[in-house]
């Protein structure tokens, strides 16, 4: 009894040591978690490093007892071996539930055993991390449960150190086992690395029992490169049944393994019922020391938001990207329900995940992200052809041939017809098989930015460029001369080649069983897009049903793209957050993007602004797995507004010139009109109230004013008034001209 009375006092004393509010507690770089009422959301707490041994790591997440734990997600974060759920402390009037995450080792990264799930035909469904580890420790025996995704017929385990993560150190792997749950039989034929079939140079006699093992030395010069080994000498998989459960085991040793400044995360699915009141509470997180006491305790604000609006536009598309990721069944169901109730009716990517199939019966549609880059040897027939015909390979800026890219001039010529048709046939077969209604080609292929990634500088292409540019025969043409003297002309030459290939693709898709909407995704219309991605929208426009670009470009670039498309509908994009999991070794633009946190408070405004700026057709979102409770809620707000005025949006035209708005930036408001109705949208992207002074200098006749979300007509003069917009708020004012008798 004495200890029970002392423990709350001790806990309170420990909590006075809470780390500065500047230190994030939940990924990505947040100290707030959001769960709309009646939804399940993924929460991703950072896991602080232990002060002593990395063995038997324990981390606790205490939530109000109305926040119900469902499951962990293995595809994102570091899944614990077990989650122990028990009563927590009562703080004030709130009872808490304690969730203790149990790990054999502190879940640093560096080493990963990834399961490559494949169909019976050998097509890859997805890669799923089974075991991850990093740090310094002697031989440890690690196990993890795995369940094949739907459609999997075989599993290929891959030992891997992923690229672009800055990982250094050394690790040793031995005695890899895949067995059915409850069985001792190892389904792998060569998991000990002592089998005579092994020829890999990674094998050394340094295993746990002195036998052979796989040793990976990750030096500084290899920090951004991939190092991997399939756990089979012939890269063969083992048969699996999605209806059965399996266990992975291995022995692992590591020394100073991991990326710089890494803090791993867990990924936990929690639900809040629809009866829970809206408001704020606190989540408490901490590691447990060897004495069982909290270490590095933290507090995180929990915000219970209103329910998702559950309203969907009829034709406008709010469409996040979603590719071939597979999640646990409860997480997939949560994503699907959140997407549907947020107003999302399209996704961009493919149907080969376990979220889209849950939405398709409700009418959900998917843009197929067309596989392959322009002039790439995509598909079995094309790869075999370029392998045997070295003379048709593209020549890079460096003078070296590309082993996977065709010479554009050759492929577009009559000589390339059969290869082009073979690739087109594979695309048509894919579209027909999976029932797509829309196909998009993501074209982001450098021309001369940077120069070393440009192609093709073979004699065929140089001759074609000379003829098109009307250059004299005696003028020397090589990559250096083009870069110094003919850069802009060469860029347009390559943009025209890409446009010609797009035209062929459009023609091929007309052979599909059903009509196909064909579009291209790339950067916004500007010189940078031409040089860096090989796209000029004016050249593509005659061959498109739709153009898509993203993310976050200035208004002038959006307008330039719409103008270049010349009447072809356009959709712009918004980036919620780049990655669903940390990437501590990321550099360049990726590292810069990941250095910021998402801003859910502005998300509704971002979506609505992009929707209006890009022509009221929709918004592309990067990307579904990064969306949290706040993103889904504010998406649902935007979807409700779009659905409410969808007919007006579709018919309207911009009329910014008829308004004068001061007190906010020009890009923070927009005006539309259709006949006797006008709409003024005011977006507050700041944490302070904004007073917008609005005038319509040339307004004539009698007009009424209505504010979206409010009943009745406010007593304001439609020709001149001031409107207060709350922090992060959206104000939509509707002006209707009274009928004359």
Q: Please, what are the averages of pLDDT over each run of 10 residues along the chain (741 residues)?
A: 30 40 88 98 94 86 98 90 94 95 89 93 86 89 90 95 91 97 95 94 92 95 94 94 95 91 92 96 95 92 98 97 92 98 97 95 97 93 95 96 97 97 96 96 95 95 97 94 96 98 97 97 96 98 97 91 98 95 82 89 97 98 97 98 97 97 96 96 97 95 92 88 96 90 58
Cα distance between residue 83 and residue 79, in whole Å: 9
The pLDDT assigned to 586 comes to: 77
Cα–Cα distance, 269 to 334 (Å, whole number): 9
pTM for the structure as a whole: 0.90
Nearest-CA neighbor of 608 among 627, 621, 596?
621
157: left (phi over 0), alpha (psi -120 to 50) or beta: beta
Q: Is residue 369 a contact partner of residue 348, using CB atoms and an 8 Å limit?
A: yes
CB 502 within 8 A of CB 546: no
Residue 540, token pair as written in the block: 């593509």
Name the strands in the sheet holding 39-43, side by side, starting at the edge strand that comes first in the sequence: 39-43, 268-272, 67-72
Q: Which two tokens stand for residue 400?
A: 């070296």
Say if residues 455 and 402 touch (Cβ distance below 8 Å). yes
Instruction: Tell me what pLDDT residue 740 has.
Output: 64
Residues whose CB falls within 8 Å of the CB of residue 649, separated by 6 or more in sequence, listed in order: 316, 611, 612, 616, 642, 672
pLDDT of amino acid 587: 78
In three-state form (DSSP H/G/I as H, E/B as E, the rest C), the secondary structure along 111-131 is EEEEEEEECCCCCEEEEEEEE
For residues 565 and 525, give the distance between their C-alpha atoms in angstroms, rounded to a whole number.
Answer: 9
Longest dimension (CA), the chain: 99
Give the model's pLDDT for residue 741. Answer: 58
């Amino acid at each position: 009894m004495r200890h029970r009375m002392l423990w709350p006092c001790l806990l309170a004393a420990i909590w006075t040591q809470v780390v500065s509010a500047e230190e994030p507690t939940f990924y990505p770089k947040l100290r707030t978690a959001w769960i709309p009422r009646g939804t399940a959301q993924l929460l991703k707490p950072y896991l602080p490093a232990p002060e002593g041994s990395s063995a038997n790591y324990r981390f606790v997440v205490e939530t109000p007892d109305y926040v119900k734990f469902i499951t962990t997600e293995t595809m994102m974060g570091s899944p614990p071996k077990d989650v122990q759920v028990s009563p927590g402390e009562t703080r004030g009037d709130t009872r808490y539930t304690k969730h203790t995450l149990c790990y054999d080792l502190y879940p640093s990264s560096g080493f990963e055993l990834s399961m490559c799930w494949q169909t019976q035909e050998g097509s890859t469904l997805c890669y799923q991390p089974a075991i991850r580890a990093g740090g310094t420790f002697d031989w440890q025996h690690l196990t993890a449960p795995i369940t094949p995704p739907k459609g999997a017929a075989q599993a290929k385990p891959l030992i891997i150190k992923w690229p672009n993560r800055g990982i250094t150190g050394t690790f040793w792997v031995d005695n890899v086992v895949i067995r059915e749950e409850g069985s001792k039989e190892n389904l792998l034929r060569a998991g000990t690395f002592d089998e005579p079939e092994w020829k890999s140079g990674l094998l050394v006699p340094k295993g746990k029992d002195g036998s052979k093992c796989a040793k990976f030395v990750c030096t500084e010069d290899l920090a951004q490169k991939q190092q991997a080994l399939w756990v089979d000498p012939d890269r063969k998989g083992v048969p699996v049944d999605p209806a059965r459960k399996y266990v992975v085991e291995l022995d692992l040793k590591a020394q100073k393994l991991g990326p710089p400044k890494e803090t791993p995360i867990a990924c936990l699915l929690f639900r809040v019922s629809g009866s829970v009141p809206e408001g704020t509470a606190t989540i408490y997180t901490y590691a447990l020391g060897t004495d069982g006491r909290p270490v590095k305790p933290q507090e995180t604000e929990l915000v219970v938001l209103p329910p998702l609006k559950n309203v969907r536009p009829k034709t406008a598309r709010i469409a996040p990207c979603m590719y071939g990721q597979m999640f646990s069944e409860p997480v997939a169901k949560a994503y699907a329900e959140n997407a549907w109730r947020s107003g999302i009716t399209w996704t961009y990517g493919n149907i080969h995940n376990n979220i889209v199939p849950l939405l398709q019966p409700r009418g959900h549609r998917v843009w197929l992200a067309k596989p392959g880059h322009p002039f790439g040897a995509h598909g079995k027939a094309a790869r075999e052809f370029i392998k045997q015909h070295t003379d048709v390979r593209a020549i890079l800026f460096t003078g070296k041939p590309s082993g996977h890219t065709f010479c554009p001039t050759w492929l577009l010529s009559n000589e390339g017809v059969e290869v082009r048709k073979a690739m087109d046939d594979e695309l048509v077969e894919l579209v027909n098989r999976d029932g797509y209604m829309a196909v998009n080609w993501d074209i982001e292929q450098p021309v001369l930015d940077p120069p070393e990634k440009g192609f093709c500088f073979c004699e065929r292409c140089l001759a074609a460029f000379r003829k098109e540019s009307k250059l004299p025969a005696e003028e020397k043409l090589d990559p250096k001369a083009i870069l110094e003297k003919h850069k802009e002309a060469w860029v347009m030459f390559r943009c025209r080649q890409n446009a010609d290939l797009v035209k062929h693709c459009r023609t091929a898709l007309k052979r599909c069983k059903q009509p196909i909407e064909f579009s291209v995704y790339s950067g916004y219309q500007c010189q940078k897009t031409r040089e860096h991605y090989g796209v000029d929208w004016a050249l593509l426009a005659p061959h498109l049903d739709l153009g898509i670009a993203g993310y976050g470009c200035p208004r002038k670039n959006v307008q330039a793209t719409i103008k270049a498309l010349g009447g072809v509908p356009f959709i712009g994009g918004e980036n919620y957050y780049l990655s669903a999991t940390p990437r501590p070794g990321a550099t360049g633009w990726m590292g810069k993007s990941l250095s910021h946190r998402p801003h859910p408070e502005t998300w509704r405004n971002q979506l609505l602004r992009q929707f209006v700026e890009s022509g009221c057709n929709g918004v592309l979102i990067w990307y579904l797995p990064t969306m949290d409770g706040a993103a889904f809620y504010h998406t649902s707000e935007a979807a409700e507004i779009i659905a409410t005025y969808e007919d007006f949006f579709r018919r309207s035209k911009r009329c910014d010139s008829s308004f004068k708005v001061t007190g906010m930036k020009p890009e923070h408001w927009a005006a539309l009109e259709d006949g006797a109705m006008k709409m003024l949208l005011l977006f507050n992207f700041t944490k302070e109230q904004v007073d917008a002074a609005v005038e319509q200098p040339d307004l004539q006749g009698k007009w009424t004013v209505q504010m979206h979300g409010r009943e009745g007509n406010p007593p304001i003069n439609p020709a001149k008034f001031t409107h207060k917009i709350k922090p992060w708020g959206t104000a939509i004012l509707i002006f209707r001209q009274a009928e004359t008798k």
